[in-house]
Every structure is written in C-alpha cells, then in structure tokens.
Amino acid sequence: MKPFATAFFAPAWFHVTSNMRPNMRHLLVLVTLLLLAPAVGFSETKEIVAEGVYHMGDGETPSVAESRALLQAKRVAVEQAGTYVESYSKVKNLRLTEDEIQVLASGLMEVTILDKKRSIAGDGFNFSVKIRAIVHPDKMEETAKRVKEKSAVGDYKKVQEAYDNSQKEIEALKRQLAQAKTEQEKSRVESKITDEERFFQANEWLEKGEQAWLNDQTDAAIEAYTKAIGLRPNHAKAYYLRGAAYNAKKQSEQTILDCQKACQLGDQDGCYLMETTLKMKMLLEWDPLKAPAGFDFNKAFEKELKKRKQGN
C-alpha cells in the first residue's frame, strides 16, 4: 500500500507537472519532496566520540588525573551535543537560551568510556580518555521543561566555574612544588594538592547529582550529593541541593536539617528553603483545637526559626 500522502497527491501532481517547463518541474519536485519527507536527523540518537588529555605532575594521583582527562572529553562532547540540541530546539520551537542548550546537552548525554591510555611525558604522565556520548532526542522535550522549571543553568555554571578554578589552582600548585627547595615546603604544597583533588572529586559528585536531579532521578541525586558532602563537608551548595531533593520527596525534616546547614554556611537559597519548609511543617502539625489559650503561631514560628538558624 502506498503512503497516504503519496497516494493522495500523485495523480494531481503528475497532471500539473506534465505541462511545466523542465526547470520548473524540477523545482516543484524538490519542494514536494521536502514537504512530504519526515524531519531528518532527529528520529535517531546522536552519537559523539571525543577525547580528552591531561598531564599529571608530581603530587597528583592517577585516578584524579584520569578524571580530569575525562572532564576534557566530556566538554568536547557537550559542545558537539549542543549544536545538535540547538538544531532540534529550533525545529521543535523549544525557545531555549544558549545556556539552557548547554545544560540540556550535558544532562542528556549518556557517556561510555571507549579507551584509556597513559604515557610518559617529560617529568610526568599524559592521561588520555576517549568516550562515546549518546544523545537521545526522545527525552529532549521533557528534559528541556525540567531545565526551565528547576533553574538548572545557575547551578551548572557554578559547577563549571569550580572546575575551571580547580584547574588553575592545581597548575599553580604544581609550579610551586617544582620550585620548592625544602622537604617541609614540598610537604606543604603536596598537602594543598591533595585538598584540591578532594575538591575536584566533590565537584564531580555535585555534577552527577545535578544531572540525576535534572533527569528526575531523585534518589540517585541524594546519593551523589551525600558523596560530595563526604569529600567536602563545608560545601554549602551540596547541602542545599540535597535538601531540595529531600523536599521533592516530601521529607520535610531532612530538608530543614540540610538547608539549616547550608544556611549556616552562607547559602541564601538554603536559608529560604529552610524557612518555607519549616513554616509549612509547623502549619501542618498545628492543631488549633489543642493549642493553649493565647497561642500565637507567628511568634512560635519565629522562635523556632531563630533556634534553627543558630544551629539548635
């Protein structure tokens, strides 16, 4: 059986084109094919192969050096995935900003490591990681909505800025280590390199958590944020994000505890979510029929809020 559109248009199309000049006939053929053809390029997954390289110097650990190479490969892949996502978004009229496109591309990528290599280079080792990144178009529209709803752009930018700052810091520390003249000075710089690597690893878990959160994998996000906190206990944003994930699961007390910690560490988003969650929790638990005479809910709430902000 012929496709409906072809069966419907073929007789009339043949009658019209038979009386046309050849050049006009060719033009009409081209226009007709474009109109009848399905949208090409967005019906299948997009596959990207990318590679990242990182030079490991003294004081660094192989596992983190490999992770830094993987990060470079992912960034290359995100750029290519972003071009694909941008084209799709225009076809579907998703109205995404440039930043939202980058976040969406990163969140949609399913990454598989194809190859890992290390080679001697100068006074250290070069680590090379090759990846395959798959982008699934069937998830794009749904995930694009979450990008807008969950205000993921700001958090994504902060993670990327943290990566950039970490890279600058580690390069500076490697130069300091090379110039160190005493064992005591070397030990001090190596300790800073270890701290910087822990920060990098915490940031990795933070990014994994945000990608899980973006894909509505709340439990996976909580697990990732917990690992980030374990590596960097004074990482305020991780407490807030874990609190937000607990809030999505309707676990109000855990939300309050995490956001309380984030607030104490200076995160204003944490302060706001703690306050609103605490108020809602107290309202739900408040029974006007059992309240003592003269009970003032607002005063009770302010008293409890003050205690929470002070860490009590």
**Is 274 inside any structural domain?**
yes
| 96 within some domain | no
Task: Kindly state whether residue 132 falls inside one of the protein's structural domains.
Answer: no
Do 51 and 73 meet the contact criterion of CB atoms below 8 Å apart?
yes
| DSSP H helices in the chain | 4-18, 22-36, 62-92, 98-108, 140-149, 152-179, 183-214, 218-231, 236-248, 252-264, 268-285, 297-309
Beta bridge partners of 49: 132
Categorise residue 44: left if φ over 0, alpha if ψ from -120 to 50, beta otherwise.
beta
Q: Is residue 304 part of a domain?
A: yes
Residue type, 126: N
Q: Is residue 242 part of a domain?
A: yes
Cβ-contact 213, 245 below 8 angstroms: yes
Full domain range(s) for residue 10: 4-36
Q: Which positions ≥6 away from 149 have C-beta within 8 Å?
A: none
In the numeric block, which tokens belong to residue 207? 């990014």
Taking alpha carbons only, the member of 116, 74, 52 closest to residue 203 is: 74
Digits of tens for pLDDT over the chain (312 positions)?
434 343 333 444 434 444 555 555 554 444 444 444 444 445 578 999 999 999 999 899 999 999 999 999 999 999 999 999 999 888 888 888 999 999 999 999 999 999 999 999 887 899 999 999 999 888 888 888 888 877 788 889 999 999 999 999 999 999 999 999 999 999 999 999 999 999 999 999 999 999 999 888 999 999 999 999 999 999 999 999 999 999 999 999 999 999 999 999 999 999 999 999 999 999 998 888 787 888 888 898 999 998 888 776
Report if pTM > 0.85: no
Whether 126 is covered by a domain: the verdict is no
What is the CA 16 to chain-centroid distance, rounded?
54
Q: Is residue 19 part of a domain?
A: yes
Residue whose C-alpha is closest to residue 68's, from 121, 152, 129, 19:
129
Return the number of other C-beta atoms located less than 10 Å from residue 252's C-beta. Answer: 17
Looking up tokens 């299948």 gives 44
Answer yes or no: is 51 within a domain: no
What are 145's two structure tokens?
């909505």
Q: Rounded to an integer, what distance in angstroms lies between the CA atom of residue 237 and that of residue 265? A: 9
CA 289, 292, 296, 302 torsion-angle sign: negative
Quote the tokens at residue 208. 């994994």
The domain tally of the chain equals 2
